[in-house]
């Protein structure tokens, strides 16, 4: 039968992945997102969620979504360019533009859709994109889809970036970087990157997914924290991490937003975000701006966890809500995750191709909703397991 051909391929590939410790499995929660979740009948303290401010289950955010469902229904029925557009989408874009202090904001259905849509809309054959070696997969794929020349510079190496900008001929030059790198939790040298772009006439796009809601006096990300909002051409942020919902947006100039409406394929050809998700995101932005205690609790937990890791001899800096404990091989990371689960701590092992070969890790994500007891449990469990980075004893 025809379907047996693909099934044969799949069995072969799954066996190869299993042999390398790289097969993935789904594991459903039976609870809302939160600091404690129910998985397979177990209650576990959750250190694998990007819900940095605990807004995914916030009463005010949920209430906004319910009210929007009552008014607009569930689905939008079409792309925004057909009949899927609503006043709620425009209201959220205006709210986010004020939050980001940008001329305009355009919504996308996910961070992946945004990054794979924006890059090909701006550059193509004859152009060059300069991408940090540890950029998120969505940026990597956006670079490939653009059909521009892709120059990958070593992670956070501004000297190498500057040299590449000077030596690479191109009609247009675009630099793309995460601001907070999702697997390492470190922060891009953004001031220096801005200077390099300015010196070589390059545009700059940044992915603030893991910085939005976490960094900056108002929670608008690293660009806000460094006062660089007006010096970065495009700032992509997500609604799905610290803002607790689903979707993404780009903060940019009005003319760039208008171009994306006509050219960004994921925007043009995707059914619009539900109005309920837009209303929830608006409530979440309101919470981020009006309740600084959310970020204060998050940073209290970040500092405590960072201090605890360093006390165990592990490398850690309180730069973001993400902390990797790099163990080396995938089997070792999986075994450490299993032992931590036995202690009541849920932290997923991250393996290639998400991270480079030899750098499989436990990736801890802190939340404002963790109490200090949760943080201490994670640290004590790591001590008990006897984790040492990169397999060093």
| The length of the chain, given as a count of residues | 393
For the question of residue 290 being annotated catalytic, the response is no
Structure tokens given for 316: 């850690």
Structure tokens given for 7: 């099934």
Q: What is the separation, in whole angstroms, between the first and last Cα of the chain?
A: 53
Burial class, 22, CB count within 10 angstroms (exposed 0-12 / middle 13-18 / buried 19+) = middle
For the question of residue 241 being annotated catalytic, the response is yes
Cis peptide before 353 (omega within 30 of 0): yes
Task: List strands edge to edge, sheet with 173-178.
Answer: 104-108, 248-252, 234-238, 203-207, 173-178, 128-132, 149-153
**Helix, strand or coil, per DSSP, at residue 359:** coil
Find the catalytic residue in 89, 136, 173, 210: 210
For the question of residue 210 being annotated catalytic, the response is yes
Query: Going by C-beta distance under 8 Å and a sequence separation of 6 or more, which residues neighbour residue 171?
Result: 126, 127
Structure tokens given for 16: 């190869």
**Helix, strand or coil, per DSSP, at residue 79:** coil
Find the catalytic residue in 89, 173, 241, 370: 241
Helix (H) or strand (E) holding 43: strand 42-46
Residue of 168, 128, 166 whose CA lies nearest to 150: 128
Find the catalytic residue in 110, 138, 182, 367: 182
Where helices occur in the chain by DSSP H, the ranges are 2-19, 59-72, 87-100, 111-122, 137-146, 158-167, 190-200, 222-226, 254-263, 265-268, 275-290, 293-311, 330-342, 372-385
Beta bridge partners of 130: 151, 175
Phi-psi domain of 218 (left: phi exceeds 0; alpha: psi -120 through 50; beta: other) = alpha
Instruction: Report the Cα 75 to chain-centroid distance in Å.
Output: 25
Catalytic residue set: 182, 210, 241
């Amino acid at each position: 039968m025809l379907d047996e051909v693909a099934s044969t391929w799949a069995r072969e590939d799954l066996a190869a992945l299993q042999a390398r410790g790289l097969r993935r499995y789904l594991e459903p929660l039976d609870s809302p997102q939160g600091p404690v979740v129910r998985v397979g009948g177990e209650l576990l303290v959750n250190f694998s969620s990007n819900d940095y401010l605990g807004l995914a289950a916030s009463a005010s955010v949920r209430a906004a979504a319910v009210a929007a469902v009552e008014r607009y229904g569930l689905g939008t029925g079409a792309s925004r360019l057909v009949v899927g557009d609503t006043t709620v989408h425009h209201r959220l874009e205006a709210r986010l533009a004020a939050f980001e202090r940008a001329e305009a904001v355009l919504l996308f259905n996910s961070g992946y859709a945004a990054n794979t849509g924006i890059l090909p809309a701006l550059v193509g054959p004859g152009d060059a994109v300069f991408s940090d070696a540890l950029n998120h997969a969505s940026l990597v794929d956006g670079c490939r889809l653009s059909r521009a020349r892709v120059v990958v510079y070593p992670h956070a190496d501004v000297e190498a970036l500057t040299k590449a900008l000077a030596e690479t001929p191109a009609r247009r030059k675009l630099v793309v970087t995460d601001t907070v790198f999702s697997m390492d939790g470190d922060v891009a040298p953004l001031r220096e990157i801005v200077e390099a772009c300015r010196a070589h006439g390059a545009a700059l796009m940044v992915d603030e997914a893991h910085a939005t809601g976490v960094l900056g006096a108002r929670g608008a990300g690293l660009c806000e924290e460094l006062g660089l909002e007006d010096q970065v051409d495009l700032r992509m942020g997500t609604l799905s991490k610290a803002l607790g919902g689903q979707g993404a947006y780009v903060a940019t100039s009005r003319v760039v937003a208008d171009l994306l409406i006509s050219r960004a394929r994921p925007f043009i050809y995707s059914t619009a975000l539900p109005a309920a998700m837009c209303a929830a995101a608006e409530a979440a932005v309101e919470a981020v701006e009006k309740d600084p205690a959310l970020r204060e609790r998050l940073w209290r937990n970040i500092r405590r966890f960072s201090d605890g890791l360093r006390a165990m001899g592990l490398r850690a800096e309180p730069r973001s809500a993400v902390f990797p404990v790099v163990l080396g091989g995938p089997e070792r990371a999986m075994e450490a995750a299993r032992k931590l689960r036995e202690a009541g701590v849920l932290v997923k092992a991250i393996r290639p191709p998400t991270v480079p070969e030899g750098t499989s890790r436990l990736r801890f994500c802190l939340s404002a909703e963790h109490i200090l007891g949760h943080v201490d449990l994670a640290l004590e469990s790591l001590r008990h397991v006897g984790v040492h980075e990169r397999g060093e004893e």
